[in-house]
Amino acid sequence: MLVKNVKEARGIITAMGRVGVLLLNLGGPDKLEDVGPFLYNLFSDPEIIRLPFSWLQKPLAWFIATRRTSQSQENYRKIGGGSPLRSITEQQGKALKERLNTLGRDANIYIGMRYWHPFTEEAITKITEENIKHLVILPLYPQFSISTSGSSFRLLEKLWQKNPKLQQMAYNAIPSWYKQSCYLQAMADLISQELDQLLNPNEAHIFFSAHGVPKSYVEEAGDPYQQEIEECTELIMLTLNRPNNYSLAYQSRVGPVEWLQPYTDDAIKDLGKKGVNTLVVVPISFVSEHIETLEEIDIEYREIAEKAGIHNFRRVPALNTHPLFIQALANLVIESLEPSSLTFTQINQMKKKVKIYPPERWEWGITISAEVWNGRIAMLGFIALIVEMITGHGLLHIVGILQ
């Protein structure tokens, strides 16, 4: 059964009770003093670094955060002394509320950051206080990764287990949404705008730069991230419908293990060697400006490109509040509230179960792949810590996770 008109849709919403939309995001330090505690929260997450003994997680997180803080602060200083993530996410939430309103839907919007304010826990407290009857859980990551949406889902699962009130609430979680057509159109529109400013638009090389993850996440833990990023790149190029050459690479590597390849810095150097002169860089794994677009791409990669002979280096802006992107978010919310995705059986099942994400997507807990993944990351983290503590010049130090 599909919703036929706005009146019917309103009826369904009323029958369902108050609707909430929880936008999940990573969070970023608002000011330089926040950098240390933010990094501590990030490295305390077992989805980012997993150790064999949980009692080691916090001391190691403190150790890495302390050692990394000054370099990280230096980077945040270059972009104005803090992350713009909170303010952009708030603007996105406001725009989404307005868009839903014009489409005849009324919903409360909540922002739940994983590692900084406003924390997911705070959003969940508000959601229970405001008596939300149906919650749409929408990560602001177009593609799913264990380290991003997966980590937030894991946290929500814990909060659900502890709180009987939450277990009474119906909810839909959207694991990833990179195929959403308005999202693809918004990306294509931003790329077109950048190309059209060039003298010879067709000669520019379109360079997609995705945030990396360790290779073991994909190969051992079954993270669908790489496959979703690759498919997303193809879909954006199809939507763009331009003759330009293009390629994809992965940025922001941290730590001693191998991450998804090719690495963005190496790929830029290779393109320089091949004689590419105009590069249009497209950040694709994140929907807002943040440190990795404003500092890493705009400053570090621009410098690398310049040295490699690529003198025309341009970066496509992040989606932020692009109207088509906000429409994409509104569509996702509306589709997930449609009776076809919200059968009573589903709601009842959801009430019974505390699992929030589709288990077929990524089997959490005790599975062979998870054990291999946990074990490998655990061993690496543990060995690195011991080496670093004994010698003062361990693996993490050498590869730059620590300064």
- Chain contacts with Fe ion (rule: CB under 5 A): 252
Closest distance of CB 146 from ligand L6N33NVT, Å: 8
The reply to whether 28 sits near ligand L6N33NVT by the rule CB under 6 A is: yes
Question: Which two tokens mark 158?
Answer: 């814990």
HSE at residue 55, side-chain half, CA atoms within 13 A, is 0
Name the residue nearer to Fe ion (CB basis): 70 or 131. Answer: 70
The reply to whether 111 sits near ligand L6N33NVT by the rule CB under 6 A is: no
The reply to whether 140 sits near ligand L6N33NVT by the rule CB under 6 A is: no
The reply to whether 141 sits near ligand L6N33NVT by the rule CB under 6 A is: yes
Closest distance of CB 167 from ligand L6N33NVT, Å: 29
Q: Is 311 known to sit in a ligand binding site?
A: no
Position among 147, 172, 226, 239 found at the interface with ligand L6N33NVT (CB under 6 A): 147
Which residue type occupies 316? V
The reply to whether 145 sits near ligand L6N33NVT by the rule CB under 6 A is: yes
The reply to whether 72 sits near ligand L6N33NVT by the rule CB under 6 A is: yes
Q: Is 98 known to sit in a ligand binding site?
A: no
Q: Pattern 252-271, binding to ligand L6N33NVT, x per CB under 6 A? A: --x-----------------
| 22 contacts: CB under 8 Å, gap ≥ 6 | 110, 111, 112, 120, 123, 124, 127, 135, 136, 137, 138
Q: Pattern 76-95, binding to ligand L6N33NVT, x per CB under 6 A? A: -------x-x----------
Calpha distance 151→26 (Å, rounded):
10
Are 140 and 103 in contact by the 8 Å Cβ rule? The answer is no
Question: Which two tokens mark 212?
Answer: 């990396």
Name the residue nearer to ligand L6N33NVT (CB basis): 38 or 171. Answer: 38
Position among 63, 110, 286, 357 found at the interface with ligand L6N33NVT (CB under 6 A): 286
The reply to whether 120 sits near ligand L6N33NVT by the rule CB under 6 A is: no
Place of tokens 């990795």: 292
The reply to whether 319 sits near ligand L6N33NVT by the rule CB under 6 A is: no
Name the residue nearer to ligand L6N33NVT (CB basis): 200 or 403. Answer: 403
Whether omega before 37 lies within 30 degrees of 0, making that bond cis, reads no
- Binding residues for Fe(2+) are 211, 292
* Residues making contact with ligand L6N33NVT (CB under 6 A): 26, 28, 42, 48, 68, 72, 83, 85, 141, 145, 147-148, 211, 213-214, 254, 285-286, 290-291
